Amino acid sequence: HMFGATIASLQVRTCTGSVCTTRSTFTGQQHTALTSAWTQAFVSLPAGTTSVQWVANRGTSFTGDISIDTISITPGGSVPPTGSPTVAPTVAPVTTFTCAFNSPSNTTTTTLTSGFPTSVGTRFWCGMSHTNLWNVDQGGTTPSVATGPSGGQAGTTTDNYAHLETSFGTVGMESVLTTPPLLVNPGGAVLSYY
């Protein structure tokens, strides 16, 4: 969710070891209100991907919060065609990594047969690492006014989500949210997130 007058940018990168490739970039405000519906996005993960990163850059003020929710990585399949952002990808319904930022313990699920190693989550982060301005909001709006969503993607004010808190930091400060270690086997995988 990207509502706020001073939102800078969000990139999604896939990494193989320390080599990362930008797969999508969103710049500026993408939603028109706190109450705007969350937008689902899809990214193809090539074989050999070892992690996914959401790289957010802080804008010029506190009205630049960026939010992420309901992450799912599923083996195989393909990304829906452009113009169909809410159509489910054509994959088997076996989820190998999920994170909705809601459980105080482990919300990571894994399927070893599909090549993803077991991951143990930590409080609300699903085993993900995070730098600088990333936070988990425990329901409702972000602490800043005139930016962010009114609640999590599930549509309740008690639904948690990760967000970039831009009340702090400096203009252009980069903050990275990274999945636990992955191993995407031949056939690739599909990343879905809001």
The pLDDT value recorded for residue 143 is 84
Q: Residue 189: pLDDT above 70?
A: yes
| Strand 174-178 with 41-45, pairing | unpaired
Mean pLDDT of the chain: 81
Q: Residue 12: pLDDT above 70?
A: yes
- Residue with tokens 């939603």, as numbered in its chain: 31
Confidence tier at 141 by pLDDT (50, 70, 90): confident
Number of Cβ within 10 Å of residue 78's Cβ equals 12
Largest CA distance in the chain: 46
Confidence tier at 178 by pLDDT (50, 70, 90): very high
- Record the pTM: 0.82
pLDDT digits over 35-60, tens only? 999 999 999 999 889 899 999 999 99
Residue (of 21, 20, 57) closest to 134 by Cα position = 57
Determine contact, residues 61/185, Cβ cutoff 8 Å. no
Determine contact, residues 153/38, Cβ cutoff 8 Å. yes
Q: What is the DSSP letter of 2?
A: -
The pLDDT value recorded for residue 86 is 43
Determine contact, residues 52/119, Cβ cutoff 8 Å. no
pLDDT digits over 54-107, tens only? 999 999 999 999 999 999 998 876 666 554 444 333 333 334 788 888 865 433
